[in-house]
Amino acid sequence: MEKQGSRALLAAVIGMGVLLFAGSLVLVGVLVHRVMHPRSVVAAGAPSATLPAPPVAGSGHGADVLMMDEAPGTHVTSVTARPDGLLAVVLSGGDGADRIVVWDPAGQHIVARLVVGHH
């Protein structure tokens, strides 16, 4: 009788060891996957940027058009909406260096300019 209980205990210990080993492998695998494939997480309660629609030239609503003094050949590399409603516009090309322009669509004006580099 004692030998049968001893075998059952040994089987339980071996089974738990195998489960611990498998669980450790899964945990390491998940950690490696998350490090290799990061993703940005947005909190559910985080406010999202809501921007008013920019006026369209010739729309008949008397809307002003924003004119920027940029050299010919300048193009927009990217546009990022900030949480405060402003747009960060990255410009490159033309005669100048790469630059970032912070634009307020609601007020229809340039808030700031940042020159990133020079030629």
- pLDDT, tens only, 12-70: 999 999 999 999 999 999 999 999 987 765 555 544 444 445 554 444 444 556 667 77
Encoded amino acid at 2, one letter: E
First-to-last CA distance in the chain? 88
CA distances 47 to 2, 42, 43, 84, Å, are: 66, 10, 9, 10
Q: Which two tokens stand for residue 9?
A: 């205990």
Instruction: For residues 78-97, give the mean pLDDT.
Output: 84
The answer on pLDDT for 74 being more than 90 is no
pLDDT of residue 21: 98
Q: Please, what is the average pLDDT of the chain?
A: 78
Q: What percent of the chain has pLDDT over 90?
A: 24
Question: Is the backbone of residue 2 left (phi > 0), alpha (psi -120 to 50) or beta?
Answer: alpha
pLDDT of residue 50: 46
pTM for this prediction: 0.43
Q: Which two tokens stand for residue 82?
A: 């900030």
